[in-house]
Amino acid sequence: MQNIEGKVAYITGGTKGIGLGIAKSLVESGLKVAISGRNIDDVEKARHYLGNQNVLAIQSDVRHFEDEQNAVEQIISAFGRLDIVIANAGLGKFAPVDELSLEDWNAMIDTNLTGVFHTIKASVEALKVSKGYYISIASLAGTNFFANGAGYNASKFGVVGFTQAAMLDLRNYDIKCTTIMPGSVTSNFNDHVPNSEDGWKIQPEDLGQMVVDLLKMNPNVLPSKIEVRPTKTK
């Protein structure tokens, strides 16, 4: 089992939901964690919630490569290294394909797919140095298509394919790559407000524990693609 205490992780979209749940699990496991989001007030609020001096709050919009470059530079400056990168930032807009707007299509592709590329492109040299770990948060929508999901399906199918291809490229540098594909999760996704009826869903801390388990796993073992869903439906 790998010792992960003291390692440095970067989580995009770390202000709420899955990203915040993963950040909490990593902080509790003794890691130094950087979280980013588009709104600095939200990022600072999340940092305060995590309540740890080893948490760095960064304003970054993954749609802009320069933002991710700046984020990685801030992490290296603050913590001296980068071991784990978790590309989590994402959004969903749902409509029949004949009604899906260009604005919503571009927002999903630019954030969910191009943003994932920007994050690894900005951080890959640091991960080569640390022989680190890159994790993308995709979705079961990355393998199961559904009505009204053309844009979201396209972005998440893309994330799955991108991460699996990146895994083949980056393992030559001893960088591990995994994509996690959750089903229904209690989160703020698509403007949902978590409530007492969400108990049947996967909880953000469940995914946080999964990430911790991946990081601790024997370095000779790589679960490169993980589907995870609630045990039962509502």
Q: Does the residue 92 lie in any domain?
A: yes
pLDDT at 2: 85
Parent domain of 197: 8-228
Q: Does the residue 199 lie in any domain?
A: yes
- Rounded CA-CA distance 234/32 in Å is 36
Residues 6+ apart with CB under 8 A from 31: 4, 5, 6, 7, 8, 9, 54, 84
Phi and psi for 80 in degrees, rounded to 5? 85, -5
- CATH code of the domain in which 189 resides: 3.40.50.720
Q: Does the residue 1 lie in any domain?
A: no
Q: Does the residue 54 lie in any domain?
A: yes
Q: Does the residue 2 lie in any domain?
A: no
- List, run by run, the mean pLDDT of 10-residue segments along the chain (234 residues): 92 96 96 97 96 92 98 98 97 96 98 98 98 97 94 97 98 97 72 64 90 96 94 79
pLDDT at 233: 79
Q: How many domains does the chain have?
A: 1
Q: Does the residue 3 lie in any domain?
A: no
Q: Does the residue 186 lie in any domain?
A: yes
Q: Does the residue 234 lie in any domain?
A: no
